[in-house]
């Protein structure tokens, strides 16, 4: 039966007594192949609840029918991320996904923790091409999907917290050359480590990251002390490097296309306050030549740091009449001298 002749055969001449049993007709039910492109927000290669479709992706079907004829067809995913190649003759086919928006990257393919209906089949190492799919009569394979994500980034700023209040106040300046280390695990389960140094203005940025869970560690620059963490309630203006954790931040989950520029670290140079007690022989309030130091005087420091913490400390003047309160956080302080007996 010739499809081009509406199922008609050629004319056969039968002679006397001839029994011709070679005239057959084969049929197949058309097959179809397709399904879905989506934004893989966490880049784990699985279609998770809440992740959105990605329309406008070009999908190319290539293959060979069961009778050896080459097949090529094109489709574009719709607003719901769906595509379909219907009315296919049984055969072997593969699909290539391309033409996603320029900022998108193919996610990992064939996640072992997903099913074939929920994973991504477009292999980034093969330019978005899938493996082969063999379709038989009437097959409907709607499991050929492709996930995409936009690279993420994290960063921002290291500054000198002159008043020690843990906030980026007007007029404060950045600190260049500070080592910042990024560690974490991307959505595909791969460990990630990267290091850079802040620019002269204190800025830094880790970009082109696969969505995942990351933290930052700021190496304290020489002579400085890490300021107080998470002050003021505005994450864009505070310091995120925790002194109790060696300058480390908490983990941040970055999703597809996220640009988090709220990770900052403030430092201050420790301050000091002190000096001298002496015997004011002529009671003129001046340190005159020949007047002697007075040791053993109790000196009490009281005050409040720039971030509002109460400070109290005690010192005793030495034999030279000297005392010193050092390693102070910037703030407001007063000193009380207890008169010796």
CATH code, domain carrying 275: 2.60.40.10
List Cα–Cα distances, 201 to 6, 174, 182, 233, in angstroms: 78, 5, 20, 24
**CB contact burial 198-210 (16+ within 10 A = b; e otherwise):** beeebbbbbeebb
**Shared domain check, 321 and 290:** yes
* Neighbouring-strand partners of residue 330: none
Let me know if residue 9 belongs to a domain: no
What are the pLDDT tens digits along the chain (341 aa)?
677 777 677 777 878 888 887 777 778 899 999 999 999 999 999 999 999 999 999 999 999 999 999 999 999 999 999 999 999 999 999 999 998 988 999 999 999 888 999 999 999 999 999 999 999 999 999 999 999 999 999 999 999 999 999 999 999 999 999 999 999 999 999 999 999 999 999 999 999 999 999 999 999 999 999 999 999 989 999 999 999 999 999 999 999 999 999 999 999 999 999 999 999 999 999 999 999 999 999 999 999 999 999 999 999 999 999 999 999 999 999 999 998 87
Q: How many CA atoms lie within 13 A of 29 on its CB side?
A: 6
Let me know if residue 5 belongs to a domain: no
* Neighbouring-strand partners of residue 209: 152
Q: Pick from 268, 289, 307: which residue ends a domain?
A: 268
Give me the phi and psi of 68, to 5 degrees please.
90, 5
**Shared domain check, 216 and 159:** yes
* Neighbouring-strand partners of residue 64: 70, 92
CB within 8 A of 186, min separation 6: which ones? Answer: 43, 192, 209, 210, 211, 212
pLDDT at 295: 95
Let me know if residue 108 belongs to a domain: yes
Q: Pick from 149, 165, 183: which residue ends a domain?
A: 149
Query: Using CA atoms, how far apart are residues 57 and 97, in angstroms rounded to an integer?
Result: 7
pLDDT at 1: 62
Query: Using CA atoms, how far apart are residues 279 and 306, in angstroms rounded to an integer?
Result: 35
**Shared domain check, 263 and 288:** no
**Shared domain check, 28 and 145:** yes
The closest alpha carbon to 161, from 271, 311, 250, 310, belongs to 271
Give me the phi and psi of 126, to 5 degrees please.
-115, 25
Let me know if residue 223 belongs to a domain: yes
**Shared domain check, 125 and 72:** yes
**Shared domain check, 215 and 134:** no
**CB contact burial 24-45 (16+ within 10 A = b; e otherwise):** eeeeeeebebbbbbbbbbbbbb
First to last CA, the chain: 125
pLDDT at 198: 98
What is the 8-class DSSP label of residue 124?
G
Query: Using CA atoms, how far apart are residues 78 and 74, in angstroms rounded to an integer?
Result: 13
Let me know if residue 172 belongs to a domain: yes
List Cα–Cα distances, 62 to 31, 88, 97, in angstroms: 14, 11, 12
pLDDT at 340: 84
What is the edge-to-edge ordering of all strands in the sheet holding 133-135? Answer: 70-76, 58-65, 91-98, 133-135
pLDDT at 17: 83
Query: Using CA atoms, how far apart are residues 136 and 138, in angstroms rounded to an integer?
Result: 6
pLDDT at 99: 86
Tally the domains of the chain: 3
Q: How many CA atoms lie within 13 A of 282 on its CB side?
A: 7
**Shared domain check, 114 and 45:** yes
Which DSSP helix (H) or strand (E) runs through 266?
strand 259-268
Let me know if residue 139 belongs to a domain: yes
Q: Pick from 112, 134, 149: which residue ends a domain?
A: 149
- Give the domain extent around 97: 24-149
**Shared domain check, 295 and 247:** no
**Shared domain check, 263 and 178:** yes
**Shared domain check, 164 and 238:** yes
Query: Using CA atoms, how far apart are residues 86 and 330, in angstroms rounded to an integer?
Result: 72
**Shared domain check, 279 and 257:** no
**CA 331 to mean position of chain CA atoms:** 36
């Amino acid at each position: 039966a010739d499809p081009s002749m509406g199922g008609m055969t050629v004319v056969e001449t039968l002679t006397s007594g001839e029994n011709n049993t070679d005239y057959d007709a084969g049929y197949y039910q058309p097959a179809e192949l397709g399904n879905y492109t989506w934004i893989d927000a966490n880049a784990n290669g699985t279609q998770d609840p809440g992740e959105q479709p990605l329309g406008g992706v070009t999908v190319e079907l290539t293959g060979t029918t069961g009778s050896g004829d080459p097949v090529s067809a094109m489709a574009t995913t719709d607003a719901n991320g769906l595509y379909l190649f219907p009315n296919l003759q049984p055969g072997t086919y593969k699909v290539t996904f391309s033409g996603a928006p320029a900022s998108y990257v193919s996610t990992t393919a064939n996640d072992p923790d997903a099913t074939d209906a929920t994973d991504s089949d477009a292999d980034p190492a093969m330019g978005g091409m899938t493996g082969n799919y063999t379709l038989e009569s009437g097959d409907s394979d709607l499991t050929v999907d492709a996930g995409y994500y936009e690279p993420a980034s994290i960063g921002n700023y290291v500054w000198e917290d002159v008043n020690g209040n843990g906030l980026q106040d007007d007029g404060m300046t950045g600190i260049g050359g500070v080592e910042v280390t990024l560690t974490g695990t991307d959505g595909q389960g791969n460990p990630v480590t990267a290091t850079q140094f802040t620019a002269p203005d204190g800025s830094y940025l880790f970009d082109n990251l696969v969505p995942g869970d990351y933290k930052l560690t700021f190496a304290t620059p020489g002579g400085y002390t890490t300021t107080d963490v998470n002050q003021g309630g505005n994450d864009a203006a505070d310091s995120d490097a925790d002194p109790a954790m060696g300058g480390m931040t908490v983990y941040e989950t970055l999703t597809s296309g996220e640009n988090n520029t709220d990770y900052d670290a403030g430092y201050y140079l420790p301050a000091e306050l002190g000096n001298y007690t002496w015997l004011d022989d002529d009671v003129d309030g001046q340190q005159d030549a020949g007047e002697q130091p007075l040791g053993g005087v109790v000196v009490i420091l009281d005050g409040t740091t720039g971030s509002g913490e109460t400070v109290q400390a005690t010192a005793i003047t030495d034999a030279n009449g000297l005392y010193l309160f050092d390693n102070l956080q910037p703030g407001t302080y007063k000193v009380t001298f207890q008169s010796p007996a």
